[in-house]
Structure 1
Amino acid sequence: MLKKKFHISLYLLFMLLFAINLSANTIQHCDSLIKQGVDAMWKKEHIKSLELLTEARNLAEKNHWYEQVFLATNNIGANYFTMLDYGEALNYYLESYTIAVKELDPQHEMVVLNNIAIIYTKERNFDKAEEYFQKAYKIAKEKNDTLKIGLYAMNLGGVANETNRLEDAKKYIMESIPLLKQEPHLLVLAEICLAENELLKGNTTLAREKAQELYTSTDNLDYNDTGISLMLIIVKSYLKEGKYTPAITAANKILTGSPNLENKKTVYTLLADIYFKDKVYDKALQYKDSVLWAEVQLNDIKNGKLLETSKVKFEMQDYKNQIALNQEKLNTERKTFYSIIAAIVALVIILVLILRNRSVKLMQKKLVAERNEKAIALELAQEKNENLLLEKQIQDKENKAKLEQERLKNEIESRNRELSAKALYLSQRNTILEDILTSLGKVPELSKNESLAGHIKTLKSHLKDENEWENFLTHFEEVNQGYITRLKTIHPSLNANDVRFICYVYMNLSTKEIASMLNITVEACRKRKERIAAKLELPDSSHLYSYLYTV
């Protein structure tokens, strides 16, 4: 009777353990973790979100639930995108893309392709952005998904506008408009792209009238900065027509709406251009200073985001280590538990044999042996746990070293951004001063004054002084110690002008900004970039920044 009751109790215990384990490994539990992770991401609780999504991803990979692996991985990438860590986000999006191609349908593939293209757009790598938008657009066409066709066509139109392929842009935008009529907020974005296209073509009146019409008829002007985008088109159209007063009024209207720093910087840049063309030079210089202030503020925010991302990565690594330790500890505890259960079963069997054979002495010997064996097992388990604790301490030290390395890297990048902002600001300021001096030199009354003309000539010579470049080179070497030496060692054929151009590219300045600093046209700047890429034996100029970053 006693033996029968024991068997029933043991059976119920095993069933309970099996039920708990089964409930923690269901696909519904995995979906719940993903949902909680996405909700935490929208609340900007990134550490919590990444922990939940990582747990879901591990569970899905273990059970080969590819839909859940894709969703968890894609949303991990979305977390890093929100934290402005585009490199980390791109890694996870590419991983999601691989999963979609190998294990899922094209519907998933085009979603992640669009995400990858958006990252390249943010980094202003429009060639790559167009490549991935085209892939998503092609899949949408094959699936006859009209809404997605419209969305990706609109995105392609935006990229074509950015690269000044205006006829291609208009073709894509006109294709998207009828397909987005069921989504009013997306339709407005497509109409904005069309207005920008007309503005770039020089049809300023048509662009402005379209923007004004959309501004008055759109319900939600806050969605995706719709209102600000429309007002910027209005400001630029007035500027192109030389109507400076309404342009200033429209620009100030944007500033009264408390725009974010990116939009403030854009408006300050436009106001500086307007006042310069209107020859109100003190206002132009004032807004140039405002542009520099906004740039510094943006750098501070980006630095904060990079530090936050580094902390998240560190805590995520610690969380993964903790999961591994907990899993190892759980395995050890399970083995100990099953060993104890096995020992109990063995003891019961021995007890039954002892009772059957009436051999009390044999039973005592067996019990002593089992107790010793159990004590040894517990000692071994304790020793293993101590080893795991030591491994965790070592891992913590390694993680702290990685965090310090990441901090130093972020500090160098921050100082490079500050250096490039100051250099660009000084170049633009000198350009304005040189234009002012040129204008003064053309005034007949002033040109007759030999003393004043001599002073103007002296000022111009000071503006062309090479000491400014020498100072910039000194600061660059302080921030990036040994970089130019390494570069010249690898490529001894580079001359001083090549090195100067490469320094600006290394600091991730745009072609337009470099052209402004070197006082050459954008086209000449692009040709110089191609010539230097050829001298470095690169396949094309788009690989130049990536290569320089590895030197």
Structure 2
Amino acid sequence: MKIQIRLVLILFNSCLCLYGQENPRLDSLLNVLKTQKDDTLKVLTLEELFLEEFYTDPTKAKKYIEEGLELSKKLNFPNGEGFANYYLGAGYYQTIGKNDSARYYINEALDIFKRIKHEEYIIKMTNALGVVEYTSGNYQKAIEYYNIGINYSRKNRHWDNLANRIGNKSLAYIKKGDYNLGVKYSIESLKLFDSLNSKSNTLQLKIHTATAAVRVGYAEMGLKNYEKALEYFERALGIYDGIDDIVHMGHTYSDIGNVNLELGNYDSAIENYMKALDIAKKKKIPIMRGHVLINLGKTYIKKGDYEKALYILKEGLPFNEQFGTKDNLSLNFNQLGNAYLKNNDENQALVYYNKSIALADSINAAEILSDVSLNRAELYYDIRQYRNAYLDQKRYQFLNDSIFNSKKSQQIEELRTIYDTEKKEQQIALQEKEITVLEQQAEISALQKILLGIGLLLSLIGIYAIRQKMKRNMLEKEKVDAELEFKKKELTTHALNLARKNETLENLKSKAQELKDKENMGRGYNQLIRTINFDLQDDNNWENFSRYFEEVHKDFNSNVKTKYPQVTSNELRLLALLKMNLSSKAIANILNISPEGIKKARYRLRKKLDLSTEDSLQDLVLSL
């Protein structure tokens, strides 16, 4: 799921408010500008022109805001100067990916607002710096900036700013892979906007509410709750449609297309992508156009229409080369490789896979690199370059393991963050209760104050102690359950990866043996076969598996050895794999024996365990 561009646009929406403003048309603004003198009103008009032109022609928009900056300096107009720097940094330079320049101009704006002691704008600039860190991949630093704004907004009861900054924080957690926290904070933001809408149903609040719904949708997609994600995206689409916000409608159609692609609803995905594409063309938004064309091409590959996919992906390539991010361009290359491979043009497929890998490697995009390495390994296998296929398969396995371990660390960190957050919320709740008690005590007589205070304090201590104990127990149970569930998934993934690796190596070994016999190139192929045999017999793989197995199924091995001391180490391995309920094919691949060999091993094991024909070996293993 590649949603980087859309997330950045959401951050701009909450930070710059580029959409949803009731601006005059561009030609009207230009006519007004011609009649204005060099005063503060002209500065404001130049800001409006910047916002109006920003997404269609960023270079022209930049000229307007630079003119506004120079005029503000000439007029000694600090607000104008501050916001001109802000728009240059958080708008223009951040969008074209020059984050160092973005930081410079935002810090210039921050210094101006500090000089005139405008606290609200100081916090706004701090939030903008959080967005820069977010787009730079420094998600924890972004969260720290957002928390400054959250504390200020909560203290001063600026509820719309609070909701937006909590929403930005949720996006940072989504990008960190902490999807549960992403859901938690995005829903908190959405509830705040819903509450504000019930009191004041302004255009800007509607836009922010829709944006908050989109954030929840992304978090749910991260958790693979696609149906829930679809509900939130469709809610956002309804709001955007109601206020005729065409640009955000386009992005949301693309989001709905992504969900349908994940669900396998290819026709629905294409229908929504085409709506997004029409809007991108009409509104002249090349970034959106390039991004949508990648996913549209991918969908046609899934449908089996490879010629159509190739045409679409070629159409998207110039937009992603000129306007898109490097990860989007790498994805475009990868999908072009897939389309050419499906069209039986292995040479062109290899060209684009090589481009995708080189670009992904340059930006450390591990997930893209892993995916393309596997695709190229399969291509090398098809064209009989078995050594290259083996090396790409090894790289894929290494990257896949690294990503898996990274996600494990993220999930453990997420559990810790949730636990710490719960503790802070409990402390806040206790402080609020204590304040309420003190206020009540101030209204009664001294004697009543003492008596009531003692009673309430004892009650609070007792209730709080019980509730704290219950929450601690519940949190501890949830933490243990989450870790156990994660370990189970980790064990299954490790087992299946082991099976897949052995199956691939066996296939490579067979092909190498065939070519050795056919092509009389024994020496080179013997070396390859020896390398493969070494990997097949590598006990480190089994030791890692055993370690994961023992963490999930504690004391299983010792119980088996105590009850059935006659069981050999190989039979113990078979029992462990049966305990995981794996298929006979998977077990055969992991143990590197034939399916017939598995049948014989099960038969010998039944005899050794003294099981009758009516007794189930699987039931016995599951009971151990």
Match of 1:146 in 2: 246
Residue from 419, 423, 430 that aligns with 2:495: 423
Residue-by-residue CA offset, 1:183-215 (whole Å, 9 max, x unaligned): 443233223334434554202642453344234
Asked if 1:44 corresponds to 2:149, the answer is no
Match of 1:186 in 2: 288
Following TM superposition, by how much is the alpha carbon of 1:270 offset from its aligned partner in structure 2, in angstroms? 2.1
- Structure 1 stretches lacking a partner, 5+ long: 1-27, 344-372, 448-455, 484-498, 506-512, 518-551
Length-normalised TM-score, structure 1: 0.57
Following TM superposition, by how much is the alpha carbon of 1:437 offset from its aligned partner in structure 2, in angstroms? 5.4
Following TM superposition, by how much is the alpha carbon of 1:264 offset from its aligned partner in structure 2, in angstroms? 2.5
Q: Take 1:55 and 1:480, find their aligned partners in 2: how far apart are those partners?
A: 49
Question: Highest Rg: 1 or 2?
Answer: 1
Residue from 186, 198, 217 that aligns with 1:117: 217
Q: Take 1:115 and 1:202, find their aligned partners in 2: how far apart are those partners?
A: 33
Larger RCO of the pair (alpha carbons < 8 Å, separation 6+): 1
- Distance 1:30-1:501 versus aligned 2 partners, 3 A rule: farther
Asked if 1:90 corresponds to 2:186, the answer is no
- Alignment-mate amino acid for residue 411 of structure 1: E
Question: Contact between 1:47 and 1:316, CA under 8 Å: does it hold in 2?
Answer: no
Asked if 1:479 corresponds to 2:552, the answer is yes
Identity over aligned pairs, percent: 17
Residue-by-residue CA offset, 1:14-38 (whole Å, 9 max, x unaligned): xxxxxxxxxxxxxx99999999789
Q: Take 2:516 and 2:144, find their aligned partners in 1: how far apart are those partners?
A: 68
- Distance 1:95-1:379 versus aligned 2 partners, 3 A rule: closer
Length-normalised TM-score, structure 2: 0.52
Q: Take 1:398 and 1:53, find their aligned partners in 2: how far apart are those partners?
A: 29
Which deviates further from its counterpart, 234-243 or 89-98?
A: 89-98
Residue from 397, 400, 407 that aligns with 1:295: 400
Asked if 1:133 corresponds to 2:230, the answer is no
Q: Take 1:72 and 1:40, find their aligned partners in 2: how far apart are those partners?
A: 10
- Distance 1:171-1:406 versus aligned 2 partners, 3 A rule: closer
- Alignment-mate amino acid for residue 403 of structure 2: L
Match of 2:277 in 1: 177
Asked if 1:157 corresponds to 2:257, the answer is yes
Q: Which SS does the other structure have where 1:44 is aligned? A: helix
- Distance 1:49-1:170 versus aligned 2 partners, 3 A rule: closer
Q: Take 1:334 and 1:38, find their aligned partners in 2: how far apart are those partners?
A: 39
Residue-by-residue CA offset, 1:33-77 (whole Å, 9 max, x unaligned): 9997897685635478569758967997xxxx9867865775565
Question: Contact between 1:310 and 1:406, CA under 8 Å: does it hold in 2?
Answer: no
Match of 1:6 in 2: none
Matching of residues 235-246 of structure 1 within 5 Å: 235-240=337-342, 241-243=345-347, 245-246=350-351
Q: Take 1:284 and 1:291, find their aligned partners in 2: how far apart are those partners?
A: 10
Q: Take 2:209 and 2:498, find their aligned partners in 1: how far apart are those partners?
A: 46
Question: Contact between 1:303 and 1:410, CA under 8 Å: does it hold in 2?
Answer: no
Match of 1:202 in 2: 306
Question: Contact between 2:370 and 2:396, CA under 8 Å: does it hold in 1?
Answer: yes
- Distance 1:277-1:59 versus aligned 2 partners, 3 A rule: same
Which deviates further from its counterpart, 434-443 or 265-274?
A: 434-443
- Alignment-mate amino acid for residue 216 of structure 1: E
Q: Take 1:216 and 1:48, find their aligned partners in 2: how far apart are those partners?
A: 32
Q: Take 1:236 and 1:325, find their aligned partners in 2: how far apart are those partners?
A: 58
- Alignment-mate amino acid for residue 270 of structure 1: N
The alignment of Structure 1 onto Structure 2 pairs a total of residues equal to 410
Question: Contact between 2:256 and 2:269, CA under 8 Å: does it hold in 1?
Answer: yes
Q: Take 1:384 and 1:161, find their aligned partners in 2: how far apart are those partners?
A: 57
- Distance 1:324-1:407 versus aligned 2 partners, 3 A rule: closer
- Alignment-mate amino acid for residue 174 of structure 1: M
Residue from 397, 412, 427 that aligns with 1:322: 427
Question: Contact between 2:126 and 2:148, CA under 8 Å: does it hold in 1?
Answer: no
- Structure 2 stretches lacking a partner, 5+ long: 1-117, 520-528, 557-576, 591-624
Match of 1:12 in 2: none
Q: Take 2:581 and 2:151, find their aligned partners in 1: how far apart are those partners?
A: 40
Residue-by-residue CA offset, 1:383-433 (whole Å, 9 max, x unaligned): 976886787777776666556545534432443343233223223223323
Asked if 1:258 corresponds to 2:363, the answer is yes
Matching of residues 426-505 of structure 1 within 5 Å: 426-436=498-508, 439=511, 479=552
Residue-by-residue CA offset, 1:112-154 (whole Å, 9 max, x unaligned): 4323332343334444444443343344334332112211222
Which deviates further from its counterpart, 201-210 or 44-53?
A: 44-53
